Chains A and B, each alone.
Chain A
Amino acid sequence: MNTNGHDAASPLLEVEGLVVRYPIHRAIVETVVRRPKQHVHAVSGVSFDVSRGEMVALVGESGCGKTTTAQALLQLVRPDAGTVRFDGIDVTALGPRELRRLRRRMQIIYQDPYESLDPRFRVEATVAEALVVHREGTREERRRRVVEALELAGLSPPELYLDRYPHELSGGQRQRVAIAASLALGPDLLVADEPVSMLDVSVRAGILALLDELRDRGLAVLMITHDLSTAARFADRICVMYLGRIVEEGPAAQVIENARHPYTKALLSVVPRRDPRRRVEPQILRGETPNPISVPSGCRFHPRCPVAVDECSTVDPELRPPAGVGAGHRAACLLAGD
């Protein structure tokens, strides 16, 4: 695990109480009959920080709200409540002009390298697009910066890639082009949404090592992933999400080795290990994650929780440090102290 030598006193990104809800369109009948409006509660009060030189992994299964959280903090989706502070600036209060300027400092990389690049744009055009959009530099300057970005992303020699089309490149190369495109403007924060899940295994480590290296150089990285093994190996901190909330967070090693939330424990138990001799007793939860439309009362997890008690159906636990854990480790469970 890389040590974070950077000053973590003022995190680059501070998310507080983020809420994103989508209303569900109702038929006219239901409006007339005055049925209460229903919402998809994608994100229900998420708070976390990311500092420079730190990689935070947002982990969870589908429907937990991790992707929506990422989109909301980049203001690609308007949050319904909560604040997002980037370098002290309240992003949610910005007008479109200032927001556009701020976008240069926060970039996102998507999951699908085969769809991330416009098939009609050559590599140079794709990587330079950010510069063109923000009217930076002359043609020569842009080309120079494109070459730099490609080198940084591990595509060497860059000249060989400049006038290629995406379909001439492999998945790993395309993802590197996407990364180069985000690096061209020199961002401070990089959000990586499942950056390697669609790549071959033998290629993944290269991309992850690249993100690792960028993090060492001072970039703040927020990685969205469903793969706990990857998060365990590369992230500094892990936030486990369930049904729109963070249920456990802390230093990666702590969360993996000393998990306190029953959901985290169950997830860790079902992640397959490489070693066939390593038989972990899997705690397979019955059923599937419930619909974010009808969120269970009290603790969101209690209907599937193997250790739930009566109180769990009425009390919604807060994220707080349970007894006997290291610094920065918090879990949202009434029984986490045991």
Chain B
Amino acid sequence: MSRKLLEVEDLHVWFDLPHHRELHAVQGVSFGVGDGERLGLVGESGCGKTTTILALMGLLPPTATVAGRVLLDGEDVLARGERTVAPHRWKSVAMVFQGAMNAFNPVRRIGDQLVEPMELHGVAEGATAEARAAELLERVGISSTRLHNYPHEFSGGMRQRAAIAMALACGPRLLLADEPTTALDVMVQAQILELLVSLADDLGLALILVTHDLPVVAQTCTAAAVMYAGEIVETGPMDALYHDPRHPYTRLLFAATPDLESRDAVISIPGTPPRLDRQVIGCPFRPRCDVAFDRCTAERPALGRVGDRHDAACHAAEQVAV
């Protein structure tokens, strides 16, 4: 099996809490993304999805501790912490942050802010950089004549696209998008998602889309990983996740999402996720699960193969041989 562009192996992240306690935010997450693939990282607030992708770029605060391997083209970028991950930032991996449309410096022109990462990382400078910035704007659907505008002269949707352009400035191979459309209207959301898909297809960009919005992932991504309480509970092709979910949380999450064309009752999942500052015994989803049995209380399920490229961490899911 050929090596994927990104392979994450057993990633853990802990955050310091007062009184010498720790929050185990990411608990042994493993997944991979290849060139041109679009992976959705889905989950509700507190599941660890944002922390996971921040870890991929080493953007964690000093209160964080990381373990595990993040292999970019075979090289472990977390091997020596900041030193090994810094060279990759923006050049191999770039990120569009949550609320990126507000991440622009209001007193500098958009063009200058696009050029900045290029010069910083030695990708281009001066006139070349400006030309490249113009190209990038066009690529994201903004007229290059607007290079000289200030951020406030752009609408929210345009700023989001400019943020994507900025992420592409140094020609990364992997793009991480954290809730890129959450604060946007549905029409603008459609525009942005269409853009992200076309970038992945045309540039061979690998895309990881982090969101809580299942329908967005269903329509944009080829595969997805569902996260709960800091770990991946199910992962597989989008089709399999919707039509053959093997983890109760995945199934219930879909059932909790209203659909335009469905007459099904929309359910809510009682209870809340477990606290991550304590060790969880047994399956973390058990208190809220509708099919839990004895084994679930005592033993924590591991991610096992349940179908073609389809894994689930549930005792009730029938495993198949790899």
Contact = CB atoms under 8 A, between A and B. Distances in A.
Interface of A: 61-62, 170, 200-209, 226-230, 232-234, 256, 266-268, 270-279, 282, 284-285, 288-289
A309 B238 CA distance: 41
B214 interface: yes
17 contacts: A201-B44, A204-B266, A204-B268, A205-B267, A209-B266, A228-B260, A229-B257, A232-B260, A268-B260, A270-B187, A271-B186, A273-B260, A273-B261, A274-B218, A275-B242, A284-B187, A288-B185
Interface in B188-246: 188-191, 193-194, 212-216, 218-220, 238-239, 241-243
B63 interface: no
Interface stretch (B111-119, B145-153, B170-178, B248-256): B248-256
Contacts of A200: 44-45, 212
A289 B184 CA distance: 12
Given A228-B260, A276-B238, A284-B187, 14 more contacts: A61-B187, A170-B272, A201-B44, A202-B269, A227-B258, A228-B186, A233-B258, A233-B259, A266-B187, A272-B216, A273-B219, A275-B243, A276-B218, A279-B219
A303 to B, nearest CB: 14
Contacts of B2: none
Nearest to A205: B268
Contacts of B44: 200-202
Contacts of A205: 256, 258, 266-268
Contacts of A201: 44, 212-214, 253, 256-257
B259 A229 contact: yes
B68 interface: no
B83 to A, nearest CB: 37
Contacts of A227: 186, 258
A274 to B, nearest CB: 5
A54 to B, nearest CB: 19
B279 interface: no
A102 B259 CA distance: 37
B266 A233 contact: yes
Contacts of B260: 228-229, 232, 256, 268, 271, 273
Given A209-B268, A271-B260, A276-B218, A282 B185 contact: no
B190 to A, nearest CB: 4
> Which residue, A204, A228, A274, has most C-beta atoms of chain B within 10 A?
A274
B218 A275 contact: yes
Nearest to A272: B215
A271 B241 CA distance: 20
A226 B186 contact: yes
Contacts of B239: 276-277
Nearest to B266: A205
A271 B194 CA distance: 13
Most buried by A among B158, B239, B254, B272: B272
Contacts of A61: 185-188
Contacts of A288: 155-158, 185, 187-188
A42 B239 CA distance: 42
| Residue of B188, B189, B216 most packed against chain A (CB within 10 A) | B188
B187 A202 contact: no
B38 to A, nearest CB: 12
A274 B194 contact: no
Nearest to A1: B263
B160 to A, nearest CB: 11
A151 to B, nearest CB: 17
Residue with the highest number of chain B CB atoms closer than 10 Å, among A170, A227, A271, A282: A271
A180 B34 CA distance: 50
A202 B268 contact: yes
A276 B259 CA distance: 12
Given A202-B44, A205-B268, A272-B215, A285 B187 contact: yes
Contacts of A273: 215, 218-219, 259-261
Contacts of A279: 219
Interface string B35-76: 000000000110000000000000000000000000000000
